[in-house]
Amino acid sequence: MSRFLFIPLILTAVAPTIAQDHAHHHHGDGEAEVERPKILLDKSARIVEYQLKRLDNAKLLLVETATDDPKYLPVFKAILLRPGLSLQNREAALDGLTAINKSDSATELLAVLGTLSDSDKDQQRVGRQLSAILLNQPAEVLKTKVADLNKATTQESSVLRATGYAGLIVAGQPDDAWDQAKQNESARLDYLAAVSLVPQGPLRNSLRDNVVASLDDAQPKAVRVAAIRALATISDQQPDSFQRLADFVPNVDFRTPAVRSLLKLPPEARDEATSRTLVKILVQHAEDTPAAKRTSDEFVDAMQLADELLRKLPSEESRSYRDRLRAVTVRVVRIHTVEEEMRYDRPFFAVEAGRPVQVILENEDLMPHNMVITKPGQLKAVALAGAELGTAPGLDGKLYVPESPDVLYSTDMVNAGQRFVLTFTAPTEPGEYPYVCTFPRHWMRMYGVMVVVPDLDAWQRNPVEPKDPLGNNRSFVQNWKLSDFPADQLADAMRGRNPDIGARLFKEATCLGCHKINGQGGSVGPDMKDLMKRWKGNHHGILREILEPSYKIDPKYAVKIVVDIDGRTTSGIVQAEDKKSISILVNPEVPEPKVILKDDIEEIIPSTTSMMPKALLDKFSREEIMEILAYITAAEE
């Protein structure tokens, strides 16, 4: 049985702050007094740094801060660089540094980026977050920092060098950045790394010609590989990108990065002629690959691309190639979880009745997930039965998988960054078979359909989208951003709203499953009672919590990932910690925490991601979002 822990989604319901003004404070609504850690800030920099490193994230945010004394600089810097803290924490710390040093955000960010180690993965993750803060500043601001950005491109830190190039591009100096990048191989690699840092849209697309130039045969192998990866991040001229990347697949030195970049391009970018050429190459590759190597990630990626490209060919031609593939390997369907959104990346996939198939579940989310395939019409029943198991093992010792004839196939719980390979023979009866994550409450959002068809090649030439197994007929409206809802217009937009409509939409958006309102709902996340009081009437701040759940994470809901000495991963909320052990909440519906001995722990990784999924409201209209916001903010009245 897999060893893992998990907490479900939450909506942070605390007003934004790094620290209060006093050594300890008491909430007026009856919460217990919180005492601040005592840090000797007047000691040497080495001693202060040592004291701060010993604090966990929640305690670090409680350290006293002020902007009128340089002794607080180490605290602000520690918060800015600490893995696992939210964007709002970092922005507040950045404000503290600029106030004390009487400088600006760009100067401070470039300075701290230069301190990051290339060999530390946590620091590199933080570095990309800080780079995003810098690059999201207006071009007019970055134009005043061109000299500093140019200097950054020659420094020791790789993330600083890439940020320097990206900053020059955003500041309106793309030609200068490119001229500098062409000077040597190292500089060009830094430029190509900068492409994915540049905000998506026309500006990043404008770099395409330079990326394409870096694919040239005259360029070193490392540069061409970096260009292959960069080209997949550019949304302009994707049909041309498809053809250019396809040219690299025959070459074993470039096949894997090319295949992975091709998988990122949308189906509409793939033309039939190029697809036919690639299928021929990939099928031959499958036949030439020794059996022992047919389980590698590289081979699986190549086979997934071949499977997707077969859809572009006529049925008879596609069937011929598929028969050759069946002789050497089973059909592979790779499904990814979508980070922060609690959903699979594929809402449906098709398999041929009675044929072997291999489903690979790749978990790219922070929280563990599984995938359970059920009989038609049994999604909800299986999910509820799985949740009732609590932490008791179910079918074949798997957590949250009930022993039920309605369960056809199932994975284990798959931890963050891990994968599970599920091999089975598809049902002989054509139909629509749901698949679902059966961790408590996930089933409301995280599900899809396996379509079993008599002839896969014929179906792929004319695919029919299956019915939603929960009857949800909503379609995508917009990827809503906070900027779509100006703060000065919210009050007028919420006037005259109907609480009955708001209540219905609140439930339809799956909010009621985790949050209690007017005495009804789940207890996983904070109660909506006194929401406006906690947020001091800030409607815009509350809306941001819904649209950007990872912007500010209440430390008491912050997730940590524990890696034990055997490499097994555990995710959850730390409820208690001492010198000998750490206690983590497994499931809020089963409140007994899991205790892990410190001697068994290899690493504890804090997370910057909220357990509440983003994109919850992307299938709702602006008017409906206003109904929901009016409902939750008026509930206490």
**Residue 335 pLDDT exceeds 80:** yes
Task: Give how far the C-alpha of residue 447 lies from the chain's centroid of Cα atoms, to the nearest Å.
Answer: 17
Cα separation of 579 and 502, whole Å? 48
pLDDT digits (tens, 9 = 90+) for 463-520: 899 999 988 878 888 888 888 899 888 888 888 899 899 889 988 888 887 788 888 8
Residues 264-284 pLDDT 10s: 999 999 999 999 999 999 999
Per the structure block, which two tokens stand in for 49?
């740094």
Lowest mean pLDDT across 27-31, 210-214, 455-459, 522-526: 27-31
* Tokens representing residue 478 in the block: 């917009």
Q: Tell me the torsion sign for CA atoms 449, 455, 460, 465.
A: negative
Q: Which amino acid is at 536?
A: K
Average pLDDT over residues 411-416: 89
Question: Distance between CA atoms of 467 and 477, rounded to whole angstroms?
Answer: 19
Q: What separation, in Å, do the N-terminal and C-terminal C-alpha atoms of the chain show?
A: 48
Band of pLDDT at residue 307, cut at 50, 70 and 90:
very high
DSSP 337: B
Q: Is 333 helix (H, G, I), strand (E, B) or coil?
A: strand
Determine the pLDDT at residue 533.
Answer: 85
pLDDT at 523: 65
The answer to whether the CB of 602 falls within 8 A of the CB of 333 is: no
Other beta carbons within 10 Å of 429: 11
Phi/psi for 108 (5° steps) reads -70, -40
pLDDT of residue 4: 39
Partnered with residue 356 across adjacent β-strands are 425
pLDDT given at position 590: 60
Q: Is the model's pLDDT at 26 over the cut of 80? A: no
- The tokens describing 275, both together, are 């697809």
pLDDT of amino acid 261:
97
pLDDT bucket at 5, cuts 50 / 70 / 90: very low
- Going by pLDDT thresholds of 50, 70 and 90, the confidence category of residue 587 is low
Does the structure show a pLDDT above 60 at 142? yes
Give, as one character, the DSSP assignment of residue 64: -
pLDDT digits (tens, 9 = 90+) for 37-82: 888 998 998 899 999 999 888 789 889 999 999 999 999 999 999 9
Task: Supply the pLDDT for residue 528.
Answer: 85
Which of 18-22, 529-533, 534-538 bottoms out in mean pLDDT, i.e. has the lowest?
Answer: 18-22
Question: Does the global pTM surpass 0.85?
Answer: no
Cα–Cα distance measured from residue 191 to residue 154, given in angstroms and rounded to the nearest whole number: 11
Is the pLDDT confidence value at 621 over 70? yes
Look at residue 111 and tell me whether its pLDDT is greater than 90.
yes
- What tokens appear for 307 in the block? 């499977």
Question: Six-digit token pair at 604?
Answer: 């504890």
C-beta of residue 241 within 8 angstroms of C-beta of residue 232 = yes
CA angle 364, 478, 312 (to 5 degrees): 65
Please give the Cα distance from 569 to 574 (Å, whole number): 14
Asked whether the beta carbons of 319 and 307 are under 8 A apart, the reply is no
Give percent of the chain with pLDDT exceeding 70: 90
Task: State residue 399's pLDDT score.
Answer: 85
pLDDT at 19: 45
Q: Is residue 331 a contact partner of residue 357, using CB atoms and an 8 Å limit?
A: yes
The percent of residues above 90 in pLDDT, for the chain, comes to: 55
Q: Please give the C-alpha separations between residue 540 and each of 230, 481, 633, in angstroms, as whole numbers.
A: 36, 12, 11
Structure token digits, residue 110: 């470039």
494's enclosing H/E stretch is: helix 487-494
Residue 508 is predicted with a pLDDT of: 86
CA distance 408 to 424: 10
Over residues 169-193, mean pLDDT = 96
DSSP 8-state assignment for residue 215: T
Alpha carbon distance 362, 563 (integer Å): 18
pLDDT value of residue 222: 97
Give residues with Cβ within 8 angstroms of 370, minimum separation 6.
361, 398, 399, 400, 401, 410, 411, 412, 413, 414, 420, 437, 438, 439
